[in-house]
Structure 1
Amino acid sequence: MTDPGDFYDIEELLDARERAVLHEVRATLRREVTPVINHYWTRAEFPHEIIPILRGLGIAGLPYPGTGRATGRPLLDGLVFAEIAAVDPSIATFHGVHSGLAMGSIHLCGSAEQQERWLPAMANLDLIGAFGLTEPEVGSGVAGGLTTSARRDGDTWILNGRKTWIGNATFADLVIIWARDEADGQVKGFVVEKDMPGFSTRKLEDKIALRVVQNAEITLTDVAVPEANRLTRANSFKDTAAVLRLTRAGVAWMAVGCARGAFEHALAYAKEREQFGRPIAGFQLVQDLLVRMIGNITASAALCSQLARMQESGTSADEHSALAKAFCTVRMRETVGYARELMGGNGILLEHHVGRFVADAEAIYSYEGTREMNTLIVGRAITGHSAFV
């Protein structure tokens, strides 16, 4: 078997061009990122030198036409997310925030002129994007409790409020800010540029997960945003939710990749580590852990692959992305725990990598909708009754 991490050969669903893209991503990131990522994870710093490497791969905005780069099906985009996460979940999160949330907002909610203005430069990583939705006092209840305000003044919008846990925000060129219009009470989207007066960021320190991701608290104090920067097709939270539907599928793929990365390091360790005169890979209890891991990964990848088919056909709904995110992140959390268990005490040493996946899995488990919130979305769909408060 050439790739035990893809036990059911899901990669074969891609065509030859798509497989070439995936293989280039895999080889490049394992060569360029794996040797250095622990250094940055320990120091909670972002490796800006990899941005030209990602630019060369041409994977930002894969599903979106009009970027000036080749497009890709949802399945390719998802498998790319998984490949990045299998190397490092923080880099996958950077990619997800930029390519999924920020570019996705402009693709789904921007006018043709706005798409032409920003998407090609973002696809080339000449402009880095971030996504500002969560607030210090509002997480899961953001749909009805968003407090950041937008007030129109002629051809300008005045934004006030705070956002938190905003990935990429410390160095992003563009931040999609979701704010409530004081006139009609609806949530609208705005592209805020980093040099606009009144816009400031403060890096969140001392995280135990996704330490490479530069999360920040954003403060908006009378930020004047031109009407040309208001996303013209974002007129209510339903439009925000459309972006989240798209990106939750990406997070599910990232969970697959995170689990797979931990599994691959654990498998390599089991083949090399000897006890009682032979590799521990030959012990029954070790094989039991490895099979539990690959079962979780395979089930999750198969679910995500079917979701990608539904996305391509236009038949996916909120509940489909929600189930994928909830299921895959639970299985991911279990899998990285098995990987750490297999490695014993060595599993907590960064040099063996698995400890990084264990820590980072905690963040992936929570963001883009907690398990509980996604469960309620699916529960509403299958029962016809809403259990939301």
Structure 2
Amino acid sequence: MTELLTGDFYRFEELLSGTERATLLRVREFLRTEVAPVANDCWARAEFPAELIKGYAELGIAGRAYPEDSDPKPTSLLSGFLALEMAHTDPSMATFFGVHTGLAMGSIVACGSPEQRDRWLPAMGRLEKIGAFALTEPEGGSDVAGGMRTTARRDGDSWVLNGAKRWIGNGTFADLIVVWARDEQDDQVKGFVVEKDVPGLTATKIENKMALRTVQNADILLTDCPVPESNRLPNANSFRDTAIVLRRTRSGVAWQSVGVMLAAYEIALDYAKKREQFGRPIGGFQLVQDLLVRMLGNVTGSFGMVVRLAQLQDDGTYRDEHSALAKAICTTRMREVVGWARELLAGNGIVLDYDIGRFVADAEALYSYEGTREINTLIVGRAITGMSAFV
């Protein structure tokens, strides 16, 4: 299998090296044969297909972004294409993988000590230990940097954590949860790796979601939860350090949103070629073609944005505002595309049988997480004007 995705109109995939493309095609085949057939059923039942973890592990891609001694270095471009490919099949599973590799592993890479990286990353790279990332709180989303209520108190060679976290992906079954808490002594945000089954840790699945239903989001409660000093991330000493992790994962969400757009466009295009009304396929009508071209324009423009962002990442010149702009714009365009695709499918667009209903719902979660459009707009606005409009 060597064909490009139908929606890759400008053939961006050909920017990958031959080895990188071989990796991407191997992942694409796994997603099509193993993930796609169960995606709607898992989504409808709000259950996570744990049996697929072994297959993801065998792909050997979970830790590929982090080896320090590899030659050639893994590229951000391939990482982006992998995020796109996963979201193109199932945004829920793309989120599972992004939380584990981007947020949890990324926090340990960016803020952990060499000993901590050696202790946790190999098993996480093999998906033998699953990670989660606990930042958002019940009363703190966009304002969590200044309004974090979860606290950490030093107690000899340990820390005691108290507080609550919400919307924690993988939280119900994670082996390691990176928890961000405010140090009672210096009022700074610090990072801690809380291991499964530690006393005082409770994770409860959030029910009745309308988006990313396969993702096991949890409410996390920390009650006098003891964490050894050896599990404190030594390079996480303020929210600025948290932002280092978020900078990269925001770009991953932008890539995911392109994957969702691609899927919606391709579903709509295939439907337009087959669905007949008034004696001929609806793809032959001007208004339908207008919708399809608008979708393709959003896909292609967003694709170009994330490809350039990956290039900036690889040459070390990208900044917070680059990721923020991509996340804000690509997810906004994604919302338009899934809406137009649902419109083209009419009533068939609201049932899972045609897939698009799942992408419409899941797009709402991608639009909001990793910083709302408004917050990312303020990050970019501050960069271009030199003035902060944050409250």
- Using the size of structure 2 for normalisation, the TM-score is 0.97
Could you say which residue in structure 1 is the equivalent of 2:286? 284
Structure 1 residue matching 2:338: 3-state secondary structure = helix
Deviation by residue 1:130-155 (Cα, 9 ceiling, x = unmatched): 00000001110011111111111111
For 1:61, which of 37, 56, 63 is the aligned residue? 63
Q: Could you say which residue in structure 2 is the equivalent of 1:91?
A: 93
| Contact 2:251/2:306 (<8 A) preserved | yes
Kept in 1, the 8 Å contact 2:4–2:11? The answer is no
Report the alpha carbon displacement of residue 86 of structure 1 after superposing the two structures with TM.
0.5
Q: Extract structure 1 runs of 4+ deviating beyond 3 A.
A: 66-71
Alignment partner for residue 188 of structure 1, among 187, 190, 214?
A: 190
Change (3 A) 1:255 1:228: same
Does residue 354 of structure 1 match 2:356? yes
CA shift at 1:25, angstroms?
1.1
Deviations 1:51-73 (A, max 9, x none): 11111111213321159999621
Q: Given that residues 147 and 161 in structure 1 are in contact (C-alpha distance below 8 angstroms), is that contact kept between their aligned partners in structure 2?
A: yes
Partner of 2:320: 318
Tell me, in whole angstroms, the C-alpha distance in 1 between the residues paired with 2:336 and 2:63: 31
Q: Secondary structure at the match of 1:35?
A: helix
- Secondary structure at 1:113 match in 2: helix
- In the alignment, which residue of structure 2 is the partner of 1:201? 203
Equivalent position SS for 2:266: helix
Contact 1:40-1:212 at 8 Å conserved across structures: yes
| Partner in structure 2 of residue 165 of structure 1 | 167
Per-residue CA distance 1:198-250 (angstroms, 9 max, x = gap): 00111110000000000010000111101110011111110000000010000
Q: Deviations over 1:273-320 (max 9, x none)?
A: 122232222222111111111111111110001110111111111101
Amino acid at match of 1:93: T
- Which residue identity does 1:194 align to in structure 2? K
Question: Is 1:40–2:42 an aligned residue pair?
Answer: yes
* Conserved? CA contact 2:63–2:126, under 8 Å: no
How far apart, CA to CA, are the structure 2 residues paired with 1:240 and 1:184? 17
User: How many percent of aligned residue pairs carry the same amino acid?
Assistant: 66
In 2, Cα distance between the equivalents of 1:110 and 1:16?
33
1:253 Cα deviation (Å)?
0.4
Q: Decide which of 257, 260, 265 is 1:258's aligned counterpart.
A: 260
Aligned partners of 1:142 and 1:252: how far apart in 2? 22
The answer to whether the 8 A contact 1:22-1:80 is kept is: yes
8 Å contact from structure 1 (residues 66, 115) kept in 2: no
Amino acid at match of 1:144: G
Query: Which residue number corresponds to residue 334 of structure 1?
Result: 336
Which residue matches 2:82? 80
The residue type equivalent to 1:5 in the other structure is G
Question: Partner letter of residue 280 of structure 2?
Answer: R
Q: Where do residues 234-273 of structure 1 align in structure 2 (5 Å cutoff)?
A: 234-273=236-275
**Secondary structure in 2 matching 1:175:** strand
Q: What is the alpha-carbon root mean square deviation over aligned residues?
A: 1.5
Instruction: Return the alpha-carbon distance in structure 2 between the equivalents of residues 70 and 356 of structure 1.
Output: 38
Displacement, 1:49? 1.1
Contiguous gaps of at least 5 residues in structure 2: none
SS in 2 for 1:343: helix
1:129 to 128, 131, 140: 131
> How far apart in 2 are the matches of 1:67 and 1:179?
32
Aligned counterpart in structure 1 of residue 6 of structure 2, from 4, 7, 14 = 4
| TM-superposition CA deviations, 1:342-374 (whole Å, max 9, x none) | 111101110100000000000100000000000
Partners of 1:233 and 1:67 in 2: how far apart? Answer: 21
Change (3 A) 1:70 1:36: farther
